[in-house]
C-alpha cells in the first residue's frame, strides 16, 4: 500500500474458511497447510474505535476473538493463506477484516447442523464474496442428497456444492481448486458481459 520499498512483486492472497463451531474448519486448514495451523487473536473493546493513549482505561469491556490459519507457498513470491473464521458469527467486526480482499470463501457444513451456516451464507451474499459450500462427511458418510442440501440452504444453482472430507489433504485440495476455478469463471463471464 504505502511502503516505498515495495517495488518487487512479492504478494499474498487469502481464502476464508467459514462454518459453524466444531464443523472442522481448523482440520480442513491443517490438512493442506504447510505449517501447523497457527492462532492469532484480535482484541476488541466496547469502544472499538478511537482508543488511544490516555483514553486507554482498564475497565473497558474487551472481547478476544481467535482465528486459526494456515499457509501454502504457491511460489517463492506468492503465498496463499487460509483463514478460519471465528466460531461465533456475533464477532462480525473481525469478519469484515477477514473477507476484505479475499479470493473467496469455503462454507464448511455439517448436515446435522445446517442452520449454523445460514448467517454465514447471508454475510457472503451481502458482501458479494464468491463462496462454495463444502459438506463435511463425518466418518465418510454422505447422509444427504446434495440437491436437498442446496434447497435447505437456499443457495442458487450457480454456487458450487460438494462433499468433502476435511481431514483429507486431497479432498481439501479439490475444494480449494474448485473455489478458484469458480472465481475465475465468474470473472470471465463478467469480462465477456462487459465486452
Partner 1 sequence: MVLGGDEPTGSLVRPYAVTRGRTRPQLEIALEALVETTARGRSGQFLGGREQKVIVDLCGGRLQSLAEIAARMEVPLGVARVLVADMAADGLLAVHEPTGFSDDPGADESVGTELLERVLSGLRRL
187 binds partner 1 (CB under 8 A): yes
Least distance to partner 1, CB of residue 152, Å: 26
Phi, psi of 73 (to 5 degrees): -80, 110
Q: From the CB of residue 60, how many other CB atoms can be counted at a distance below 10 Å?
A: 13
Nearer to partner 1, 99 or 149 (CB): 99
The rounded distance, in Å, linking the Cα atoms of 146 and 51 is: 47
* Binding characters for partner 1, 142-161, by CB under 8 A (x = yes): --------------------
Nearer to partner 1, 23 or 175 (CB): 175
Determine the interface stretch with partner 1 among 74-82, 84-92, 139-147, 159-167 (rule: CB under 8 A).
74-82
State which of residues 88, 97, 113, 146 lies at the interface with partner 1 (CB under 8 A): 97
The rounded distance, in Å, linking the Cα atoms of 70 and 23 is: 17
Site for partner 1 in 39-68 (CB under 8 A): 39-43, 45, 51-54, 56, 58-62, 64, 67
Nearer to partner 1, 28 or 80 (CB): 80
Contact status, residue 95 vs residue 17, Cβ threshold 8 Å: no
Q: Please, which residues have CB within 8 angstroms of residue 108's CB and are 6 or more apart in sequence?
A: 17, 18, 19, 23, 24, 25, 28, 117, 134, 136, 164, 166
Residue 16's closest CA among 91, 74, 102, 140? 102
Residue corresponding to grid cell 450457480: 158
Give residues in contact with partner 1 (CB under 8 A): 1-3, 5-6, 8, 10-14, 32, 38-43, 45, 51-54, 56, 58-62, 64, 67, 69, 71-72, 74-75, 78-81, 83, 97-104, 127-130, 169, 173, 176-177, 180-181, 183-184, 187, 191
Amino acid at each position: 500500500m504505502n511502503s516505498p520499498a515495495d517495488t518487487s512483486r512479492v504478494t499474498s492472497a487469502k481464502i476464508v474458511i467459514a462454518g459453524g463451531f466444531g464443523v472442522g474448519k481448523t482440520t480442513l486448514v491443517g490438512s493442506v497447510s504447510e505449517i501447523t495451523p497457527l492462532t492469532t487473536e484480535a482484541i476488541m473493546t466496547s469502544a472499538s474505535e478511537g482508543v488511544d493513549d490516555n483514553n486507554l482505561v482498564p475497565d473497558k469491556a474487551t472481547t478476544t476473538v481467535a482465528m486459526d490459519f494456515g499457509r501454502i507457498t504457491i511460489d517463492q513470491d506468492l503465498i496463499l493463506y487460509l483463514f478460519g473464521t471465528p466460531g461465533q458469527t456475533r464477532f462480525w467486526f473481525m469478519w469484515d477484516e477477514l473477507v476484505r480482499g479475499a479470493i473467496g470463501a469455503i462454507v464448511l457444513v455439517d448436515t446435522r447442523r445446517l442452520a449454523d451456516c445460514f448467517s454465514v451464507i447471508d454475510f457472503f451474499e451481502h458482501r458479494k464474496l464468491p463462496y462454495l459450500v463444502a459438506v463435511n462427511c463425518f466418518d465418510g458418510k454422505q447422509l444427504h442428497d446434495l440437491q436437498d442440501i442446496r434447497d435447505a440452504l437456499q443457495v442458487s444453482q450457480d454456487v458450487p456444492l460438494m462433499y468433502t472430507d476435511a481431514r483429507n489433504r486431497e479432498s481439501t485440495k479439490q475444494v480449494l481448486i474448485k473455489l478458484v476455478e469458480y472465481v475465475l469463471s465468474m470473472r470471465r463471464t463478467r469480462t465477456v458481459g462487459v465486452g
